[in-house]
Every structure is written in structure tokens, then in C-alpha cells.
Amino acid sequence: MDVAVIADIVGSRTLPDRAAAQRALDEAILRVEHDRPLATRPLQPVLGDELQGTYPDASAAMASLLLLRLALPDGIDCRYGIGVGQMTTVPSRVGDLAEGPAWWAAREAIELVHDKQSRAVPAARTWIVAAEGHGGVEVGYANAYLLARDQLIGRMPARTRRLAYGRLLGRTQGELADDEQISQSAVSQALASAGFSALAEGLAQLGGRS
């Protein structure tokens, strides 16, 4: 059963160059799909600042969205609603339209994470909702994990996100140090202070180990 994901760009109306932001987002999505192809249908723009995609399961969705959050440059961020449930299609003159409980759940999830970001948890970016009969306590555990993960990523400067992305894909600290023109010790310290080991172990638990 596929999992639906709806994403939108945080603060899209206030971006100084909306077109450039969209290009950067598209490039980050393509990079993640090249480096770790997990989506059954990669995220793609559908209307305004919204994107939609599908994944084979919630673990694949969470792993892919982790890498995407790390791949995005400063100034561009997204919210993600993950919906677990059945998918259907509705025939149309322009092709089959995606429909069903998974999409309704994804819509609810992105509305919930938007509310949490606006209120008690400013760093929240990702949330899961399961349609009736497709969730339970596991979804609660996943959301607790996502809140902690988003908090860690939200505190990372752009360089640390790049370092974390590279390490999650199996690149060595020495290689990353050369890329950033810093010492290997500086790479190690940046990753350690940012809580990278927790991100790495979390990705491994999702089945996304390199």
C-alpha cells in the first residue's frame, strides 16, 4: 500500500524570489531521488506552492523526507503531511486523478503540522495521519520521533546539513572536509554537536542505512 505525501513551502508568499526557490526545491528533490530513490512517485508541484508524491510505506517516506530537509538550502523549507491508507483513482478526461483515504489523511496531516508550527512547536515540519483502520500506536511513536528529528534539523546551519546529508549517504568525513575546505576535526565536531548520530541511527531504524 502506497503512502501519500503532501508538501508545501513555508512562507512561500514572502520569499524574495519565488521562482528561484522553486528551482532550488526541484533540484533538491531530484538530488535525493538520484542519491536514494525511495518514492513510487517523487514529489512534484501540483498547484501554487504545493507538491504531492507517493511512497511504498511510511518508513520510506520518512527516510526520503529526512534527506530532502537536509538537502534544502538556507531560506527554503517545507512542511510535509504523510497519509497512510488506501488510494484510489477517479477517471477524468485529463487522466486518472489521485483520490482516497491516504490523500485525505495527508491533507489532515499537513494542516496539523502547520498548526503545531504556528503554536507550540515552531520547529515542527512533518506529521503522519493514518486513515481509519491503518494506524494506531505506531503512528504516535512515529510522530514523536518526527518532532524530535525536526527539532534537530531546525537548529542545523546549512553547512552542517550538507555534512549530515553526505555522511548519511556514506561519504567519509575526509571527503566532506575537502568539499567544505575545513578540517576533518571540524566536520566531526559539527556533526557531534548537531546530534548527527541520532539522525543516523533513526535512518537506520527506518531501513535507510547506506
Predicted pLDDT of residue 88: 86
Predicted pLDDT of residue 210: 45
pLDDT tens, residue by residue, 138-169: 899 999 999 999 999 999 999 999 999 999 99
Predicted pLDDT of residue 137: 59
For the chain, percent of residues with pLDDT exceeding 70: 95
Contact between 35 and 67 (Cβ < 8 Å): yes
Contact between 2 and 56 (Cβ < 8 Å): yes
Domain ranges of the chain: 3-155, 157-210
3-state secondary structure of 183: coil
Nearest to 7 by CA among 82, 79, 70, 73: 79
CA distance 1 to 57: 7
Q: How many helices (H) and strands (E) in the chain? A: 8, 7
pLDDT tens, residue by residue, 84-118: 999 887 777 776 777 899 999 999 999 999 999 99
CA distance 145 to 209: 17
pLDDT at 209 over 60: no
pLDDT tens, residue by residue, 1-24: 689 999 999 999 899 999 999 999
pLDDT tens, residue by residue, 22-47: 999 999 999 999 999 999 999 999 98
37 or 134: which carries more pLDDT confidence?
A: 37
CA distance 21 to 6: 18
How far are the Cα atoms of 1, 77, 119, 121, 190 from residue 51, in angstroms, in the given order? 20, 13, 24, 23, 32
Q: H/E element holding 90?
A: strand 88-90
Look at domain 3-155 and name its CATH class.
alpha beta
Determine the residue type at 25.
L
Q: Which three cell numbers stand for residue 118?
A: 504556528
How far are the Cα atoms of 5, 88, 140, 143, 161 from residue 100, in angstroms, in the given order? 13, 5, 22, 22, 35
